[in-house]
Structure 1
Amino acid sequence: MMKSLGSIRRSFAPWADPASKPFISVKNVTKKFGDFTAVDDLSLNIYTREFFALLGASGCGKSTLLRMLAGFEQPTSGEIILDGQNLAGIPPYRRPVNMMFQSYALFPHMTVENNIAFGLKQDGMPKADIAERVGQMLKLVKLEKFAQRKPHQLSGGQRQRVALARSLAKRPKVLLLDEPLGALDKKLREETQFELMDLQQELGLTFVIVTHDQEEAMTMADRIAVMSHGKVVQVATPAEIYEAPNSRFVADFIGDVNLFDGTVTAAEGGSVRIETTGGIALRMASAEKPASGAKAAVAIRPEKIRISRQPPAHAPINAAEGEIWDIGYLGDMTVFHVRLKDGKVVKASSLNAVRAVEDPLGYDQQVWISFGEDSGVVLKD
């Protein structure tokens, strides 16, 4: 019986152990295409059995990095070490990795069975061993009944699983996934995310996934590397990336966020006082002590902001008056856009914990927004 995913994930943190050795080390890698630098002096470590995500907008260099891991591109400078072996000059077919492409790249004239067996036949594996391995892969992705079908006779989710089975058939040490769920509809994509997590745990492999979908990365990955313009901006667990972004870019890129720009007026004890450009007085918990007069920003997630008809007890600190400008009902939660007196629009979200709410907030109502000292993070840039 497979061990609970939760029990494994709670204790899995080899990056925090100084004695742990990285399974993949990317060391000062740069990749240029003519005058364009796709990957810029990038370094990161990935550990055995880690589900690692490269997350960023189009053109940030994440797919180029994945292709260098696969061997389809060679670094202009720097080196990539996998399980103690420098991959320089090693062609893709000799690397202990396999890549699953966004398009799936299935052979349309071949059956599911033959698609999965293709790489094994190319390697000269005996027929009996191929049949056994293909049977194992079909069972793994729950496609035993579809072995004789061709790709056009399958749904998008089934084709995705055939591509996955083919990628796993050669038992690579690392599976590289390039936007693997992009062609699936929302519900199937969410289901497949958890299937991939369970599969990765069962096989004990290292997965490296490239995605621009923040939810996808947050759901599946043990750690995320947020990339921008060929560089890694932050590497951390999903919770750390979301709750403690290390820069304005990461705070703004991951999920929804409200950013309050201002000037530091004082730093005392474990908190910092900031006066925003709109005249709101903030007092936020902060381990760092920026100098008085320094520019700073405070990032606060919408779910951390409360809305009330009356001013909170701690007003005017960490509070402001405004008007409900827009309301978005999403089923599980309601999102409010509150326009403050200085014109700034703040987003706040409220969980719909019960089916009906007495006297709900409506458009154009005057309200107060408020938040606690530990609700946001102080950013220096």
Structure 2
Amino acid sequence: MPQTVFAPWENPEEKPLIQFKNVTKRFGTFTAIDNLTQDIYEREFFALLGPSGCGKTTMMRMLAGFEQPTEGQILLAGQDMANVPPNERAVNMMFQSYALFPHLSVWENIAFGLKRMKMSKGEIDTRVHEMLRLTRLERFARRKPHQISGGQRQRVALARSLARAPKLLLLDEPLGALDKKLRQDTQFELMDIQEKTGTTFVIVTHDQEEAMTVASRVAVMDEGKIIQVATPDKIYEEPNSRYVADFIGDVNIIEGTARKVGEDGYDIAWAEGQEPFHAKTNRELSDGQKAYIAIRPEKIAVAAEKPEGAYNSIKGKIVDIAYIGNMSTYHVEIPGGLMIKAQTANTRRLARRGFTWEDEVWLSWTLTAGSVLEE
């Protein structure tokens, strides 16, 4: 049976689990959240992504009940959360700091909230074992927090947050303390746990790779506003602004002026005396309007000779090379001093480099490789 795509936000019949309605949050004269409206659906893994100070943690603290909106409403399952204290919300929050009880064992830390819920001993045993297994902590059940590593303490905090099976779990930079390899493993575990429990996860992170890996949708934030919210592939392939294109992954942004050619094609004049670049877009641009082409480095081909029939090609000189194991990134200077990054996958072991410093090369890309942006 074909698997149905999970996209409740595309279904007008679906009721959101969380609704931010014109929410503003001020701290004195500083506006942390600026008239924000956003729906989040049940079983979503929703990522709030942005630089420090963009408002993502404030959004999360309001959901948890630690902050109240200055204006607007936050609804959880249709209920206004305005006067509901944190301990009465079907919400659990996992903090950046582990906030574990140092005198309790790993097992007791995970069981703590369950005991307060007056669960039977058998139920607590079953639940704690399940959490230990999910977070790969069985061997450490009897140890105290100071006897395990920072990464393991982080997983105890996750297990404890999930043990009570909340309707909504808020994760504030949850994997920040883990090394890269363990972090990647834990991301997949998180997704697995989220799917198994059916809990709605909202994660705050400034790590774009993490957001792109785990999330059903990513909200890219800046200065208290959501600039774009979409699935990870849409955010990457179809950014709605230079800010989003630049924030997610590596990108070349070329400024120019647009002129319409054909139904959805544009010429982008980018340098005096140079052939314009060609691009397709659904956006309506007026002739002579300032526009930008955003092209990901992996979408640019590097060749020694001018490629036949390429829609966009330009000659340049290699100024720098970054060899990153699975790929090489070439920094190529093109006319007018513009620097373009192009990436090639290293599909075979490098007996010798295809290109080296100071080599003249041709860069080329297709009509649809670049996103045309207005701002």
What's the TM-score once normalised by structure 1's chain length?
A: 0.94
**Within 1, Cα distance between the matches of 2:356 and 2:129?**
58
What are the Cα deviations for residues 247-287 of structure 1, in whole angstroms up to 9, with x where unaligned?
11101111000011001123422211110146451110111
3-state DSSP of counterpart to 1:312: coil
Quick one: structure 1 residues 358 and 134, their matched pair in 2 at CA, closer, same or farther if it must change by over 3 Å? Answer: closer
1:199-278 alignment, distance < 5 Å: 199-277=193-271
The answer to whether the 8 Å contact 1:24/1:45 transfers is: yes
Residue 171 (structure 1) shift: 1.5
The aligned counterpart of 2:314 is 320
Question: Does 1:69 find its partner at 2:85?
Answer: no
Residue 134 (structure 1) shift: 2.6
Question: Does 1:117 find its partner at 2:127?
Answer: no
The aligned counterpart of 2:290 is 295
**Within 2, Cα distance between the matches of 1:184 and 1:331?**
22
The answer to whether the 8 Å contact 2:219/2:227 transfers is: yes
5+ residue gaps, structure 2: none
**Within 2, Cα distance between the matches of 1:357 and 1:47?**
51
3-state DSSP of counterpart to 2:291: strand
After the TM superposition, which of the residue ranges 57-66 and 17-26 deviates more from structure 2? 17-26
The answer to whether the 8 Å contact 1:99/1:177 transfers is: yes
Indicate the percent of aligned positions where both proteins have the same amino acid: 57
5+ residue gaps, structure 1: none
How many pairs were matched up? 374
Match of 1:285 among 267, 280, 288: 280
The aligned counterpart of 2:181 is 187
The answer to whether the 8 Å contact 2:93/2:171 transfers is: yes
Match of 2:367 among 365, 373, 378: 373
Residue 64 (structure 1) shift: 0.5
The aligned counterpart of 2:301 is 306
After the TM superposition, which of the residue ranges 179-188 and 280-289 deviates more from structure 2? 280-289
Residue 288 (structure 1) shift: 2.2
Match of 2:89 among 89, 95, 98: 95
The answer to whether the 8 Å contact 2:278/2:367 transfers is: yes
Match of 2:190 among 193, 196, 199: 196
The answer to whether the 8 Å contact 1:217/1:224 transfers is: yes
**Within 1, Cα distance between the matches of 2:51 and 2:344?**
28
Quick one: structure 1 residues 152 and 266, their matched pair in 2 at CA, closer, same or farther if it must change by over 3 Å? Answer: same
The answer to whether the 8 Å contact 1:280/1:319 transfers is: no
3-state DSSP of counterpart to 1:198: helix
What are the Cα deviations for residues 173-225 of structure 1, in whole angstroms up to 9, with x where unaligned?
01100000011111111111001011111111110000000000000001000
What are the Cα deviations for residues 24-57 of structure 1, in whole angstroms up to 9, with x where unaligned?
1111111100000111111111111111100000
Match of 1:44 among 23, 35, 38: 38
The aligned counterpart of 1:159 is 153
After the TM superposition, which of the residue ranges 244-253 and 17-26 deviates more from structure 2? 17-26
Residue 132 (structure 1) shift: 4.0
After the TM superposition, which of the residue ranges 263-272 and 338-347 deviates more from structure 2? 263-272
The aligned counterpart of 1:23 is 17
Match of 2:336 among 339, 342, 367: 342
3-state DSSP of counterpart to 1:262: strand
Q: Which amino acid aligns with 2:291?
A: A
Residue 157 (structure 1) shift: 2.7
The answer to whether the 8 Å contact 1:54/1:226 transfers is: yes
3-state DSSP of counterpart to 1:11: coil
Residue 86 (structure 1) shift: 1.1
Residue 127 (structure 1) shift: 4.7
3-state DSSP of counterpart to 1:188: helix
The answer to whether the 8 Å contact 2:281/2:372 transfers is: yes
**Within 2, Cα distance between the matches of 1:135 and 1:329?**
44
Residue 20 (structure 1) shift: 1.2
Residue 123 (structure 1) shift: 4.0
**Within 2, Cα distance between the matches of 1:359 and 1:139?**
46
Residue 142 (structure 1) shift: 3.0
After the TM superposition, which of the residue ranges 216-225 and 124-133 deviates more from structure 2? 124-133
What's the TM-score once normalised by structure 2's chain length?
A: 0.95
The answer to whether the 8 Å contact 2:95/2:172 transfers is: yes
